[in-house]
Every structure is written in structure tokens, then in C-alpha cells.
Amino acid sequence: MKNWWKESIVYQVYPRSFKDSSGNGVGDIDGIIEKLDHIASLGVDLIWICPIYRSPNADNGYDISDYRKINDEFGGNTAFERLLKAVHNRDMKLMMDLVANHSSDEHYWFQEAKKSKDNPYHDYYHWKEGLPDTPPNNWESVFNGSVWEWNEKTQEYYLHLFTQKQPDLNWENPTVRKEIYDIITFWLNKGVDGFRMDVISLISKRMEFTSVPETLPFIDVMEQYYSNGPRVHDFIKEMNKQVLSRYDIVTVGEGPGVNLTHGPKYVSAAEKELNMIFHFDHMTLDFGPEGKYDPIPIDWIYFKKIFSQWDKATANDGWNSIFLGNHDFSRIVSRFGNDNTYHDASAKLFATLLMTLRGTPYIYQGDEIGMTNIQHPSIEAYDDIETRNAWDAAEKEGKDMTQFLKAVHRQSRDNARTPMQWKATTYAGFSNSKPWIPVNPNHTEVNVDNQEKDPNSILNYYRKIIAFRKANTTLIYGSYQDLAPDHPHLYIYLREDEKTRFMVVHNLSDSTINWAPQDSKYKMVMGNYEKTQEGLLHPWESQVYRLDIA
């Protein structure tokens, strides 16, 4: 079935780091408005904007203290209404970020909830009785430390899967669900075109709160204990029936702990839950035995297998989100590609991959110019709470901190949060004053201004490959088949419908590989190298071939 959101190109904006219009070093809504023409010039249809609600910013906006107010530092509600109008005037749509698994501890609900067990808001959150030095179980927060925080007034612990300033909402309480549905309705009635739903797979808790085996890796803890709870599908179905289905919108759920067993149900058209989900099977491929900050090389055979399995699992009545980066992961070209010798080629390769797989492609701000990771000389320069907490935990465990800093360079979320690089000026054209987070020193070379002037730049390649996708609906709705699943470095697949067949090949390595299509009827129609060589694939080269079959 055809849908506008299946045909859309999505661009993610992290507002704090996109463009500062006021000169205070923090990105804002007027800054986004100022740069909408840049986003539109790519061929983008849908903008996803990270949380801009009122927040104390313990986790950069993912801790919301008022769901109906836009944070003043971003410009307030009137600025948001200007943004929505400006986006719609350019024939684009706007998707907000909905954080409904938890609120801020500064939200009115929690401020009331912690006062007494009899308070009407108390049951808006999860509470467990216990002793001040004995948490109810051994669950560990996503950001390290216990998920339980003691509340002296009620002599109870409250649950927070993230920071202690992000208490988890109790979705078992129908009043909480109604509050969330009312918030969704409030924004949809203003003209918002959809929601990305933060950690939506975590909203249903296993209420027995059983302790986890001490040796179980955190990825498995997430999957088996925190995610895909017994009522998660009931809750999402109810939300869809009562609110979402009444509007022509798009919904994408963030699904930590969601795998092939659970994933297809979230996006099945028959189930009437969500349109798409972000799973993270491919985004944890470089996590070693000790997790994210114990990185290992990417296994490209497994990488391909994940995309193939998810395509098969959602082929009948579901849909995929195709993404390789966002505000929670390091930069695509640094993590998956080669950000040195083959910076441009590998950045263009992953653009090609995003635009030729089956699913809706997501571009994170700065990836369209090949922005890279930043390597701060010490932990003090890092802002991210996850990174700082992981560092503190590693120090307590007596780890080699020189090696750990190298892991931080590779994996920290701050890699994605450095200011957008518009120009070669002091603060990269992001602001005229010192930004809230340091600018990557390579902004003097890697920036929008430079790439606008170069017809062969990464930026102009993104425009080209996006236009190519839009001109060929086979690349949107056509079938998918991996032709070389066991090759360690070549990713070759077919996209086909009744009229046209495309064969796409990517060389995921620093080496030249001998390869040519076996059928001479295939004509090369797109590639990321200006000069190709017959029978050879250069390092990080992508080629797209076409065969008309009707």
C-alpha cells in the first residue's frame, strides 16, 4: 500500500546544535527557520525535530517539565508556530519528538506525586517500598547506577530507567494514558504532522520487577527485562485508536530492545500501532563484550544480514526506518566509513545505501556534508551525561583510562551534537558567540558553504541521490534481494518491480575489489565516483545499475 510517509525523505534536526539566531551559543527555532531552505534544497519532505519542550535539560530536553510549552531558550510557543507555518509553506511536514516513557522530576505531576502516597498524582509514577540503602532490585539505569531513587517523604523508591531526573510514568494508570493522549491531540490540532516516540518500547513494565542475573550483558537486560513489556502493544493500539488514527500523520517509535521477534508487530498495518520503528540491531554491531565503550570492528556480513532480515520481516504489511545515525550515535562516516583517506567516498556510499534500501530514509543534520567525530583531549570537554557517567564507572572499575578515552572518541553521543558546520568562520557559522558545545576543528574544511561551491561535494551528491530515489519508485516500493550475503566486503542487492530492476553494489572497504555485473544488459546510472573503472570497484565505491524488464 502506498503512503506519503513511505515516499518521504526525513531530516532530523537537533535544535540546540543546528543554528543559533540570538547569539547566545544555543541553537533555536528562528535559527531552524533561517536554514529551512537548505533542508528543502536536499529534497526533504519531513523534518523531525528533537524535543523543544520546557525542560531543565538534565538530558538535553528528553526530560520534559511541561509538554504544552516550548522552552523559552528555543523561542517559546509563538516561535514554534512560525516554524510550523514556514515548514508547511515549503511543502514539507514537521514531526515532533514525544517523550512519554518518563517526565522530568520538575514536572508538576512528579512534584505533587512525591509529596504523599495519598496525592492524586502519586500513581502517575512507579513506586516501591524499601529501605534507604536497599533498592527493590538490582536493575541498572541506561546511564549507569541504580534505576531506583529514594524519596524521603513517602519512604519509597521511584523508578527511573534513565537519569534520576527522569522518573518513569506509570502507563498502567489510565489517567496517565489520557494525559498523554491529550498532549498528542494538543499538538496535532496545531498542525503537527506526526511524532517520533522516544523509547516507546519501554512504556509497559514487568510489574514483578525481578532482579537480573549479574552476568547478563546490558543489551540482553534491555531486551528481556525493560523492553516489550506485557501490555506495550495494548497501550499503543489504544493510543492509535483513540488519537493517532483520527489524523493523517506519521508515527515512528524508538525501540530499544526490539528485535525481529517483536519488531514486525509494532509496524504491522493489521495491528494498527505505528507506521515505523527504529530498531538498533545494526547500531550495536560495534559493541564489544563490555558494551558500547568496548568497541569492536563492524562485521559487514552480519550488517547485511540484519538489513535483509528486517526487510523480510516487514515486507508483507510493515515498513522499515532506514538510518545509520542520529543524536544518540557517533557520526556515520567516522563509525561505519573512513573519515580520513576516503572521507568523501564513504560518506557518499552511505548516502547511496540510505536511498536505495527499502524503507523511509532518515538523514541526521550534518551527515549531508560528511561531518565527523570530534576527539577532545580530555573528558572535561564532554557534555553528554551518558559519556560522563560511563567514564566515572570505568574509573571506579580501574580501567585503562587512556584506552577508554579512545573509546569515547569513537562512541560518545557528543560526536553527533557538535554544532552544524555552515561556514569556515570561527564558530562554523552556527553562532557569533561561543557555542554551548565545542565546534569540530575540521569545520574550516567540512562545511556547507564550501560544498555548495563544489558540484562533486558530498552535499550535492546527497541532492543527486535523493532526486534519483524520488524519480524511481522501484527504489521505494520494489522488492529487495541480497545477492552476495556471504561476501565480507561487497553489499550487492536488487530492487525490483514489474517494470524495472536496479542492482546496487557497495564496496565496504579500503581496498579495490574486482567486480562487474554478469549481465551486460545492466547500465550504470548512478555512482559516487566521478571516474569509474570497468571491472573494478574502488575503495568505498557505490554503483547503481538499471535494467528495464518490461
Q: Which residue has the cell 565516483?
A: 529
Distance CA 193, CA 191 (A): 6
SS3 track for 204-219: CCCCCCCCCCCCCCHH
Whether 234 sits among the annotated catalytic residues: the reply is no
Distance CA 373, CA 330 (A): 6
H or E stretch at 53:
strand 53-54
Amino acid identity, residue 483? L
Helices in 131-245 by DSSP H: which ranges? Answer: 174-188, 218-221, 232-242
Distance CA 239, CA 181 (A): 7
Q: Which own/partner contact pairs does 172-177 have at CB distance under 8 Å and 24+ positions apart? A: 172/205, 172/207, 172/231, 173/123, 173/124, 175/123, 175/124, 176/124, 177/235, 177/238, 177/239
C-alpha cell at 276: 515505523
DSSP 199: T
Q: Which of 28, 45, 63, 254 is catalytic?
A: 254
Helices in 22-173 by DSSP H: which ranges? Answer: 29-34, 36-42, 76-89, 108-113
CA dist 17 → 14, 303, 350, 377, 431 (Å): 6, 30, 23, 21, 10
Whether 198 sits among the annotated catalytic residues: the reply is yes
Residue of 341, 407, 324, 339 whose CA lies nearest to 371: 339
- Phi and psi of 501, rounded to 5°? -125, 125
Residue of 348, 367, 351, 361 whose CA lies nearest to 418: 367
Distance CA 232, CA 123 (A): 18
Rounded to 10°, the helix 232-242/174-188 angle is 40
Q: Which of 59, 97, 168, 198 is catalytic?
A: 198
Amino acid identity, residue 204? S
Residue of 275, 349, 368 whose CA lies nearest to 43: 368
Q: Residue 283 CB: number of other CB atoms within 10 A?
A: 19
- Phi and psi of 54, rounded to 5°? -60, 130
Distance CA 277, CA 455 (A): 35
Q: What is the dihedral of CA 445, 451, 454, 458, to 10 degrees?
A: 100
Amino acid identity, residue 108? Y
CB 313, CB 267: distance < 8 Å: no
Q: Which residue has the cell 570561527?
A: 426
How far from the centroid of its chain's Cα atoms is residue 191's Cα?
A: 23
Q: Which residues are catalytic?
A: 198, 254
